[in-house]
Structure 1
Amino acid sequence: MALPLMPKATAVWLVENTSLSFEQIAAFCGMHSLEVQAIADGEVAVGMVGLDPVANGQLTKAEIARCEKNEDLRLKLLVVDLPQVAARSKGPRYTPITKRGDKPDAVAWLLKNHPELSDAQTCRLIGTTKPTIAAVRDRTHWNAANIKPRNPVMLGLCTQRELEEALALGIRRGGTPLPPQEQEEGYGEERDDEQPWSQREDAR
């Protein structure tokens, strides 16, 4: 079944802005109802910004209203008549030249917020190299003074789904995630008052 763009962020929005049941939201977003309930209880996706499926053309207000009246109904994803995106083959990820300078920022964000990821996973996720990861981690990168941790999803280096799948795999392989309260809120947008990576004492 086709899923909406960024399912977890969509679930956050539906929890916060509709009276749909957990089961309805879970079915639409491809999640378990208990995970949706955990979002509502503030135990999962803490600080995540919800993604409006109406604004991005994946649902209509009428469809939401229809399902709010009957918990047995299921939301129907609007199908856009566009060509299917070809699945990315294994191998190095191509990154446009304009975005290549953002990779060290993405590496810094992943090192800071998701230690459960291995270097190999980070390489595959955003198309970087192990020497670059090591240089950012050790703060020996040539541009270390200007590196600021930024979420690779917001930088366009990977999708939210790819990030979530990589994190789940890292945990299954024995990686230890940070407690939610220690992770950056939201999607890691750059802040004017944020120190460069080379000056952060808590850099990993």
Structure 2
Amino acid sequence: MTDILMPKATAVWLVDNTSLSFEQIADFCGLHPLEVRGIADGDVARDIRGADPIVNGQLTREELDKAQNDENYRMKAVVSRHAELLKPAKSGPKYTPVSRRQDRPDAIMWFVRNHPEVTDAQIAKLLGTTKATIESVRNRTHWNSANIKPVDPVTLGLTGQLQLDEVVRKAADKKAKDDAKNGVLQPIEAEPEPEAAVEDAEEEYGMGAEPTAESVFGSRD
């Protein structure tokens, strides 16, 4: 089904002006039948003005008549010839200039060393490389392993800081959820207890003893 503009407003008009079933209206507008029932009962979309899908060019009169004569018929929306042009274009594979491709193993090593929680699939997508290359860098079987050193991919110009931060954040969130699911507790750095400071003072000045001028400032000798 093609998404239509103003689905609730269209549903309001169809409820008020046609004999279509709730299921037919719901199917056409992309709503739940109970939501359409709520519109008919006045519980939903009270302040929404109905929108005629025929006037708006989203439905033909022939389609509407077919549906009203057959409750099992599901109406088909009119597809605009400009609809395909309005769809966001899918981004193609990440292209890395030839001059920078030799830097990708360094960036991969940076991920392996600093962010092991980031998956190979995420690294491959961000850097425009392959899982096989990532595995060879990790296992030190890459042909140029002797010269590979970890370098921040942003510094190498292979990605932007925002994209890198987003990938790292998603990986960290997923790891935290997985750890919580598996019952792995995250380490918490304990704050020093006040008693420790007291014990240190007692050791320095003597058990329960008040500090003297000599103990604080030292003797003249």
TM-score of the aligned structures, taking structure 1 as reference length: 0.41
In our comparison, the structure showing a higher alpha carbon Rg is: 2
**Higher-helix-fraction structure:** 2
Instruction: Using structure 2 for the length normalisation, give the TM-score.
Output: 0.38
User: Which one has more relative contact order, counting CA pairs under 8 Å at least 6 apart?
Assistant: 1
